[in-house]
Amino acid sequence: MTLAARLLHFNDLAERAAQLLVAPLLLVTRVYVAWQFLKSGWLKIADWETTLFLFEEEYQVPLVSPTLAAVGGTFGELVFPVLLILGLLTRYAAAGLFAVNIIAVVSYAHVLLGEGFEAALGQHYLWGLMLLVALVFGPGRLSIDSWLKASGARPR
């Protein structure tokens, strides 16, 4: 066996072993990032007056009224994470949360881009990357989307 063939053999072994981790890794990624946004949505609902105050006075969401931004942001932080955890309409949920994440950074850039907030901004980068993983690679086998596909359900 040549050196190249041995190297390919070892790579094949590693690839087969790694394939066993794909579905659990995608599930953990979906659940972790969804949980971060879900907690934020629950906080907004729990104290709606403070949420409205923050959207009126602190966050600088462009193009829409503070009230519409608060409702839209809260909706996104409550609905998209549930879909993501279930693995239902996963790519749409990931795209929606990716947009929520970008809007959060843009509307709070005056703080997040300041000195001393590098770790907070880094969290948004991490979440964005995790959402891109879900968007590009899909939900994996441990999802309703995968179950629907395996069941043969097709649009008419």
Report whether 107 contacts 60 (CB < 8 A). yes
Kindly report, residue by residue over 96-134, the tens digit of the pLDDT.
999 999 999 999 988 898 999 999 999 999 999 999 999
The model's pTM = 0.90
Q: Which three-class secondary structure string do you get for 117-143?
A: CHHHHHHHHHHHHHHHHHHHHCCCCCC
CB-count burial class (<10 Å; 0-12, 13-18, 19+) for 77: buried
Kindly report, residue by residue over 25-79, the tens digit of the pLDDT.
999 999 999 999 999 999 999 999 999 999 999 998 888 999 999 999 999 999 9
